[in-house]
Structure 1
């Protein structure tokens, strides 16, 4: 692979992570075997962002933290990362757009003086980490000398272990001077920076990655990490590949998306580079293999206090609230968790009212319509996650009382968010 430095954590980001770690108990963590394509039927989605929202709106703060600063990130990068909608926003068509621009603000200072460019970088360190599984994103990269888009991960012990001991998995990196090539790399103790271990994938027939969307993924298990582009595997790394050094891919990692400008590896923009340039992300999805609890079936769904998920008043009307109730075997408590992602009772679907993604949004019974508000995953950890919002079915106010209404809330692993089927 090309010799390049790792995309290191900025000082501001490190401070954030240290503060997050000190808070304790705020990161949702799922572990289990890799969810590779050969076992896709047994995989369950644990986290996603489909980037649905109004044009110009910020990415969901319940999922992402926006970093700021112009430290160069250990690579002599030339951009200042901002929270501005000019650099990071939803486009209204289901995409996240990260845009690198020439900087016109003389007040933005970078490691080398007044910043020449602005861009954006966002991470899930405060909201989601996971060990093992499939991490994938559908991305259209920018083009031009000096641009450096990436989809990657860092270990959640970064604040205590430091880089590279915490580990780094680069799912996809592209540099503008190689329009048809992406790189997948691991960095750890004894194999970091220019010594990172990885490989490259090149599109056939001289095609450029900037011409269309492509799916970039890793399938990660305790014994291997495998990279693919559009379903084509091009690299696998195992503990035996790190030349006797420590294999540090045995704990949760968090996700990062960013678009850098310049740096030691890509070099700076030149006269042929046209700015602004954008990295467009269609989705990010994470799955983990189900290790025990079936993800599909029919029966009572039981939660905190052994109470059952119940359709209030046994009514089949659209908009009927969903609640906890003493288990009684009635049809209003017989749910079918389907392989299609729906959860059904009385011939209708479990639905997030108004397709909301906000904490506290109530769930209801509603005619099945195939929307993301009715897409759910029951994980082996007992979380019933709404994939449209990335949030968990939750008993309001941590209550197990008869009649407690159900809602969605950020997944926290608490008892009022744990459910069993059958």
Structure 2
């Protein structure tokens, strides 16, 4: 929840929780939201049915929040944090148990922010004025890569600040921001139609975070309905979406030479803050209580099992094909009539690879120039074999920041595939079937 802007030093009742006293994210001097976070919103695109299914995906974490009304969250999945947050100048006190985080008996988690102080809680500014809840999966679940998503309905009103985010599991050893932070979704009450997704790391934290905003069309407010917020995370690439619409993708190329710290385990966090440097404090227009409703939280990852997979179809409905079904290193990858053979069965793995015949789709010699051909090659973990498959139906090599492309827009059998600057043209659009 440390967005383009904030510092997260929460005084936790659980001293064993890594040094969460340094869950910071800048804005310590009241910086305004990073202008770049709203200035980098590319044209939205919609997830295809094939990608949404992510067929061979395995669920590695799921909480559907089923249970009786008033029940606390599953303690085997979530840790409840307590305390206040001086560094963000938030106004709430996070309480334990089910007082501010409870199931509603209808399949939702309800995190409630109230204007109250029944326990005479003390905050950085004196007697606390509000209560709320924050929970995380530290010590219970971490993930490296995959699809991380939550379906939620956010609160409304000046000073409200709901968030779904992740922190590097090594925060207790390296501190923040070296741990890295991935903000899947943040919303501040004065922007009812906009959410933000942001990366924080060494040299790009707080108000210098790398991110973008997504705004609903037609003046709709996120508080009016449930929406699904997700990141698709693979080596060297993270893609954000809202309701299946992709609005940004970030790679190491976006960091200006600074360190990419997102290839390690992260844990999940859900919270509803009240006030702070970024959202500002509640005012006379803010009604209480306010609620963040969470329908589910899920993490899925492709199984990547050998012998599985399916075709990748593109221009003229033809398939990505290994020439001659030859598994030798350097075999050209081409466009060809779909025929169901093993030479056209590709597995898109959570490790960022695309595999067939036991080998990887590879950019020849690790090239980054337009027109560099792709081939089959032994999987070796290099950037030449890393691919992002966003909902826009591009297949992107993040190292080159270029798209898988049918040379010359030629749909003839045997046309070589290459990388090329992404143009959005039909010869760069692919449907991945698992």
- Normalised to the residue count of structure 2, the TM-score between the two structures is 0.61
1:247 maps to 2:291: no
Residue 240 of structure 1 aligns to a residue whose secondary structure is helix
Task: For residue 125 of structure 1, report the CA deviation from its aligned partner.
Answer: 0.4
Task: Tell me if the contact between 2:83 and 2:95 (Cα under 8 Å) persists in the aligned partners.
Answer: yes
Task: Tell me if the contact between 2:6 and 2:278 (Cα under 8 Å) persists in the aligned partners.
Answer: no
1:7–1:97 Cα change, 3 Å: farther
Residue 15 of structure 2 aligns to a residue whose secondary structure is helix
Task: Tell me if the contact between 1:153 and 1:254 (Cα under 8 Å) persists in the aligned partners.
Answer: yes
1:366-377 mapped onto 2 (5 Å cutoff): none
Residue 173 of structure 1 corresponds to 186
1:290–1:4 Cα change, 3 Å: closer
- Counterpart CA distance in 2 for 1:186 and 1:194 is 11
1:103 maps to 2:89: no
CA offsets per residue over residues 366-402 of structure 1, 9 Å max, x none? xxxxxxxxxxxxxxxxxxxxxxxxxxxxxxxxxxxxx
Task: For residue 103 of structure 1, report the CA deviation from its aligned partner.
Answer: 1.6
1:294–1:125 Cα change, 3 Å: farther
Task: For residue 295 of structure 1, report the CA deviation from its aligned partner.
Answer: 8.6
1:210 maps to 2:223: yes
Residue 64 of structure 1 corresponds to 78
Backbone CA RMSD of aligned residues: 2.2
Task: Tell me if the contact between 2:67 and 2:107 (Cα under 8 Å) persists in the aligned partners.
Answer: yes
Residue 136 of structure 1 corresponds to 149
Task: For residue 222 of structure 1, report the CA deviation from its aligned partner.
Answer: 0.5
- Counterpart CA distance in 2 for 1:62 and 1:273 is 35
The equivalent position to 2:272 in structure 1, one of 244, 248, 259, is 259
1:82 maps to 2:104: no
1:17 maps to 2:17: yes
Task: For residue 223 of structure 1, report the CA deviation from its aligned partner.
Answer: 1.6
By percentage of residues, which structure has more strand?
1
Task: Tell me if the contact between 2:19 and 2:171 (Cα under 8 Å) persists in the aligned partners.
Answer: no
1:39–1:58 Cα change, 3 Å: closer
Task: For residue 10 of structure 1, report the CA deviation from its aligned partner.
Answer: 2.1
Residue 45 of structure 1 corresponds to 59
CA offsets per residue over residues 134-163 of structure 1, 9 Å max, x none? 000000000000000000000000000100
1:3–1:124 Cα change, 3 Å: closer
Residue 114 of structure 1 corresponds to 127
1:310-349 mapped onto 2 (5 Å cutoff): none
CA offsets per residue over residues 215-250 of structure 1, 9 Å max, x none? 000000002000000000000000111111100001
Residue 54 of structure 2 aligns to a residue whose secondary structure is helix
Task: For residue 129 of structure 1, report the CA deviation from its aligned partner.
Answer: 0.1
Residue 314 of structure 1 corresponds to none
CA offsets per residue over residues 343-377 of structure 1, 9 Å max, x none? xxxxxxxxxxxxxxxxxxxxxxxxxxxxxxxxxxx
1:219–1:107 Cα change, 3 Å: same
- Counterpart CA distance in 1 for 2:3 and 2:296 is 29
- Counterpart CA distance in 2 for 1:60 and 1:79 is 23
Task: Tell me if the contact between 2:162 and 2:187 (Cα under 8 Å) persists in the aligned partners.
Answer: yes
Residue 69 of structure 1 aligns to a residue whose secondary structure is coil
1:161–1:53 Cα change, 3 Å: same
1:268–1:130 Cα change, 3 Å: same
- Counterpart CA distance in 1 for 2:192 and 2:19 is 38
Residue 388 of structure 1 corresponds to none
Residue 69 of structure 2 corresponds to 55
Task: For residue 8 of structure 1, report the CA deviation from its aligned partner.
Answer: 1.9
1:183 maps to 2:209: no
- Counterpart CA distance in 1 for 2:226 and 2:199 is 24
Residue 407 of structure 1 corresponds to none
- Counterpart CA distance in 2 for 1:199 and 1:122 is 25
Residue 392 of structure 1 corresponds to none
- Counterpart CA distance in 1 for 2:73 and 2:304 is 32
1:14–1:291 Cα change, 3 Å: farther
- Counterpart CA distance in 2 for 1:3 and 1:18 is 20
Greater displacement, 126-135 / 39-48: 39-48
1:232 maps to 2:245: yes
Task: Tell me if the contact between 2:237 and 2:249 (Cα under 8 Å) persists in the aligned partners.
Answer: yes
1:293–1:91 Cα change, 3 Å: farther
